[in-house]
Structure 1
Amino acid sequence: MNSAELVFRRADDSDAADLADVWLRSFTAALPTVRRAHSDDEVRDWFSYVVVPQYETWVAVAQGSVIGLMVLDGGELEQLYLDPSWRGRGLGDRFVDLAKQQRPGGLGLWTFQVNEPAQRFYERHGFVVVERTDGQHNEEREPDVRYAWRPQG
């Protein structure tokens, strides 16, 4: 697919259901051992009533379909999920580049310790581990790791 067929833009209310569906498919594929803290309907409501209206939410669209999402909240990269069929095609790289453009002063994020592909991905993009926890402070109660990126200079 050439880049002309791929669009990155700010999400709007009409994207919420598609964003939730991508999140659900991605979470299920990438994190099969992690207990989800919320039902599918709760995730859909969260995207409709919280994520899209309250946070800086970005969407990637190809051929009219939502294929990825990124959510920024202040200096936090809160969410980065890709449709499983789009993993390994540079979409995540483009989202991280966009996040760095939007937050040139630096970014922080959390990922689960079991998500080793995500850890390798973020480390390739210059994020460094700053903390590991036993998961007692996240809804899934899953051990996690905090990353930070600071611009060189």
Structure 2
Amino acid sequence: MITLRTARQNDADALAEIYLGCRRDMRYAPLMHSDQAVRQWFAGVLLPAGNVWLAERDGAIAGFVACSMQDGALWLDQLYIRPGLQGRGIGRALLDHVLRQGAAVCRLHVFQANPGARRFYEAHGFTLLSLGDGRDNEERCPDALYQWVRVPAGNQ
């Protein structure tokens, strides 16, 4: 069973470990910060900013999502599932939670070299807006900009 809740400050280390585990598996996108810097960023920046939710499966943190508002759109900034738990509905539960928040538009960037993530977002109604060469992300890896638009209730 998957349960969702707002992330708390004392979840910072567990979320950082999920992030680091996932990013280590992304051989195409080098980690640009030390593990300690990542942990400090989670504890000192990401969680205090709010809009972070996590999923628990069988009582353990299985993944998380972080969002922000920018230029009138909701941005999905982070969505990571603990390595080994992908494909079990956790990402879908987190994404559905975000999209139910009521924003008319949700955008995100994903690395072009991550076909699994691209298929996931496309399967959930996101459309590709543009491809980037990586100059706008710290990893300098080619990325893709996706967007989801809420369908008005009468047009479904």
Q: TM-score, normalised by structure 1?
A: 0.92
Note if 1:50 corresponds to 2:49. Answer: no
1:15-26 to 2 correspondence within 5 Å? 15-26=11-22
1:81-131 superposed Cα distances (whole Å, 9 cap, x missing partner): 000121010111111111100143120000000001100000000000111
Contact residue 62 and residue 85 of structure 2 kept, 8 A: yes
Give, as a single letter, the amino acid of the residue that structure 2 aligns with 1:117.
G
Indicate the SS of the match to 2:56.
strand
Q: Which residue of structure 2 lines up, in the alignment, with residue 41 of structure 1?
A: 36
Percent identical among aligned pairs is 36
Q: Which residue of structure 2 lines up, in the alignment, with residue 113 of structure 1?
A: 112
User: Structure 2 regions of 5+ residues with no counterpart?
Assistant: none
Q: Distance in 1 between matches of 2:23 and 2:126?
A: 21
Q: Distance in 1 between matches of 2:48 and 2:124?
A: 28
User: Structure 1 regions of 5+ residues with no counterpart?
Assistant: none
Contact residue 129 and residue 146 of structure 2 kept, 8 A: yes
Indicate the SS of the match to 1:53.
helix
Q: CA RMSD in A?
A: 1.1
Give, as a single letter, the amino acid of the residue that structure 2 aligns with 1:134.
D
Q: Distance in 2 between matches of 1:144 and 1:80?
A: 15
Q: Which residue of structure 2 lines up, in the alignment, with residue 9 of structure 1?
A: 5
Q: How many residues align?
A: 148
